[in-house]
Structure 1
Amino acid sequence: MRQPVNTLSNLGFVGVGLLVAARAGREGGLGTGTLALRPGLATAYACVVVLLGPASMAMHATESSLGGHLDLASMYLIAGFAVAYAAMRRWHRGPAFLAATYAAVVLACELVGLLGEVPWLGHMGNVAFGTCLAAALWLESRVARAGAVALDVRWAWAAAGSILVALAIWTTAKDGSPLCLPGSLYQGHGVWHLLCAVSAWCLFRLYVSERPVGRTSLSPSAAARRPG
């Protein structure tokens, strides 16, 4: 491993993905909202979060071009899911709409990533990733304000806050920055990975907090019996 700390810190994504899967497999673990009705989406989210780990490991362990592409692709997949899942609920559509939106967002990110480098953020793929996350949170705010469901928005703030702190730390660890210390156990990029994993968990908790307003909620036991 060319970057041991930055490689191994990606186990945080694997751990969070497994936590999501464990909660999804527990009776009542998906609340009474959309995930309870469609638990297969929770499984998909768990898989995407886990994938972030080995995909980013590929880049930091090898420092190869292929590893870099895998890393960016996994970022697009998680951001694309966040946008598509929020859009599906915002416009009261089904899984087919989610799949089409998901594919379109990931493709758009890949195309934006081809535009090359930009100041500060380094790669246009990072711009696409950040834009998607901002769009997802904005759509989640629209879902909450529509009034059909209630969301515990504290988890949205926690997800956004974790990413912003992670970004600030990532900035201090870029090449040439004061805290870029290749030989140190402390790696700002590794902290970025761990905080992004925390953000992924907070986003899942936001999804689980969803509950219908003004109609009978799906009971946890009934939700557990619904097909994915």
Structure 2
Amino acid sequence: MPDADSPGTARSRNRPLIVTALTAVGSVSLLGAALVFGWLGPDVGRGGSFCEAARDAFIKQPANTLSNLGFVVAGLAIAWHVSRRGTGALSASLGTAYAVLVVLLGPGSAAMHASQSALGGRLDVYSMYLLASFVFSYAAARLLALLFAGFAGLFVVVLGVCTIAEFTSADVPVVMTTGNAVFAVLLLAGLVMEVVVRSRGASRLDLRWGLASAAVLVAAFVIWNTGKDGGPLCEPYSLLQPHAVWHVLDAVAAWLLFRFYASSRPGWG
């Protein structure tokens, strides 16, 4: 068995950070290539309702695009924590998966705001669906005492529901689309289930981290809602965009949610 300082142990310990860093570099590079070569398709105004005026430039919405780097930073910070300080209730593999999904929120959302293309819009919402499906499925699996296979199966099913919602055309008050509504419901349901699990004494989660994540999400949603086209915070040509603040706050909320998971004793996940 290798000792704590052996190369094999060091590689194993650093694997979450390496995997997440490679995901960050690869996805951001792929997005850059897609923008340069036009792989995302023409500008159809996707994401144009989030206030920032589209420029006649390589990046249509600079503030709303570049603010997505917050997700990349948050994902890397989570991976560093997994590698150096452990994961609590999460295994290293699930902690790494969560870090990767947080990273992918960045280029996914940036694809839409940089190109305003239809494909960019799909990448944006699917990066959101992946994370929301993880949050919901992980909470449900712990609430129902499912094994890892149950978590994985539930994740696939929930992602399928998100896909149906994405292709269901309907205007939903406040949140705009069916897909946004499903995303919000999954996050809310996941947080509620975590509270139930905690109240049953089935875990030792430090609920303060979860409540902090929820509070930041509420603040982010208020800013998101008031910063859309015609909203009181909307200034189309300002470099300080409410939707950009939404991105940064969401990245903070994702970090806080990880700390919530990592505050618990080790378990199957």
Scaled by the length of structure 2, the TM-score of the pair is 0.75
Question: For 1:44, which of 80, 92, 97 is the aligned residue?
Answer: 97
TM-superposed deviation, 1:148: 2.6
Q: How many Å separate the matches in 2 of 1:92 and 1:124?
A: 30
- Consecutive aligned runs of 4 or more in structure 1 exceeding 6 Å deviation: none
* DSSP 3-state at the match of 1:149: coil
| Structure 1 counterpart of 2:233 | 179
Aligned residues of 2:73 and 2:103 also touching (Cα < 8 A):
yes
1:76 correspondence with 2:129? yes
TM-superposed deviation, 1:87: 1.3
RMSD: 1.6
| Structure 2 counterpart of 1:89 | 142
| Structure 2 counterpart of 1:21 | 79
1:30 correspondence with 2:87? yes
Match of 2:111, as an amino acid? Answer: A
TM-superposed deviation, 1:73: 0.5
Aligned residues: 210
| Structure 2 counterpart of 1:110 | 163
* DSSP 3-state at the match of 2:60: coil
Does 1 or 2 have the higher relative contact order (CA < 8 Å, sep 6+)?
1
| Structure 2 counterpart of 1:11 | 69
| Structure 1 counterpart of 2:242 | 188
TM-superposed deviation, 1:114: 2.2
Q: Which runs of 5 or more residues in structure 1 are unaligned?
A: 213-217, 219-227
Match of 2:256, as an amino acid? Answer: C
Match of 1:85, as an amino acid? Answer: Y
Question: For 1:133, which of 187, 201, 204 is the aligned residue?
Answer: 187
Q: How many Å separate the matches in 2 of 1:83 and 1:56?
A: 21
TM-superposed deviation, 1:177: 1.5
Question: For 1:100, which of 135, 147, 153 is the aligned residue?
Answer: 153
Q: How many Å separate the matches in 2 of 1:136 and 1:112?
A: 18
Match of 1:88, as an amino acid? Answer: A
Q: How many Å separate the matches in 2 of 1:103 and 1:58?
A: 24
Q: How many Å separate the matches in 2 of 1:121 and 1:149?
A: 33
* DSSP 3-state at the match of 2:151: helix
TM-superposed deviation, 1:115: 2.3
Question: For 2:222, which of 143, 147, 168 is the aligned residue?
Answer: 168
Indicate the structure (1 or 2) with the bigger Cα radius of gyration: 2
More deviation in 189-198 or 168-177?
A: 168-177
Scaled by the length of structure 1, the TM-score of the pair is 0.88
1:147 correspondence with 2:204? no
Q: How many Å separate the matches in 1 of 2:264 and 2:200?
A: 13
TM-superposed deviation, 1:89: 1.3
